[in-house]
Amino acid sequence: MIYEFVDYRKYLESRLGKKGSRNGLRKQLAHHMRVHTTFVSQVLLGKADLSVEQAEDVNTYLKHIEEEGEYFIYLVMCKRAGNQLLRKRLDKKIQKIRQQRLNIKDRLKVDVEVDDNDRLRFYSNYYYGAIHVLVSLKGFRTEEALAKALKLPLTKIKDMVTFMLKLGVLESKNNELTYGQRHIHLGTDSELILKHHTNWRMHAINSLNFIDENDFHYSACLTISQKDAFKVKDALLGNLQDNIKLISQSREEVAYVYNIDFHKLIL
């Protein structure tokens, strides 16, 4: 939520309520900061600024995590900046943090990657990812079963499985394939991200030829404000985090493809 704001006063108002609200939060914050309630009101009205030390008090009161606390302090410092050059420097830092917030790789804290040549092969088509997912399901843990499910020659499947075993993303136990210890994820800064997205969207397009009531497809073309566009994107990523957590704890029963698209119409 905090990353939607570039003005710390507006953020505080969203957390404490607008002037005249009787929720008592402004009074509680003032008590926590050891200042008079009038000072909090003056800050929110733009007649006074928080000090950096008081910003840290706000962090503890609002229970910001480390990244949120750092971001809030930068917002305060930017408003307190004594000259335009410093304000510009701090604003760049704020925008960088916001952009990192929207980087899936950073949000999901994934940092395990393979070397360039192996990574290039793994993302050359969607079959490698499909195999990695399918082996979690009973009935798809042999090369023969995978070949039948993916409608590929057994020799092709054997070649891909051998590669994935070497890579560590698959393991063979009791003559059955299973997940390996290595996990692979592409960040938005990867040169292979376009290929990865294209592979799975082609799969999604192909799935439209097969009507299934359990599938869900949504497409829309719309206009929206810049502020709300940021909110939608941040909400999508927040929802993605929640879903990834849910998926990680869910029992393997069926295999799905998970695609999200939200982008400008005019490039």
Q: What is the mean pLDDT of residues 154-175?
A: 87
- Beta-carbon contacts of 179 under 8 Å, excluding residues fewer than 6 positions away, are 132, 135, 136, 169, 170, 171
Question: What band does 135 get if pLDDT is binned at 50, 70 and 90?
Answer: very high
Query: What's the DSSP call for residue 250?
Result: S
* Model confidence at 180: pLDDT above 50: yes
- Structure confidence at residue 261 (pLDDT): 80
* Model confidence at 163: pLDDT above 70: yes
CA atoms within 13 A on the CB side of 87: 8
* Model confidence at 184: pLDDT above 70: yes
CB atoms within 10 A of CB 265: 7
Using an 8 Å Cβ cutoff, are 39 and 12 in contact? no
- Structure confidence at residue 175 (pLDDT): 79
How confident is the model over 205-219, as pLDDT tens digits?
Answer: 888 888 777 888 888
Using an 8 Å Cβ cutoff, are 125 and 119 in contact? no
Residue 33 or 211, more confident: 33
* Model confidence at 8: pLDDT above 90: yes
- Structure confidence at residue 112 (pLDDT): 52
- Structure confidence at residue 22 (pLDDT): 67
Helix or strand or coil: residue 173?
A: strand
Question: What band does 52 get if pLDDT is binned at 50, 70 and 90?
Answer: very high
How confident is the model over 203-253, as pLDDT tens digits?
Answer: 888 888 887 778 888 888 888 898 898 899 889 988 998 998 898 899 888
Longest dimension (CA), the chain: 76
Question: What band does 113 get if pLDDT is binned at 50, 70 and 90?
Answer: low
Domains of the chain, start order: 2-101 (1.10.260)
* Model confidence at 111: pLDDT above 50: no
* Model confidence at 103: pLDDT above 70: no
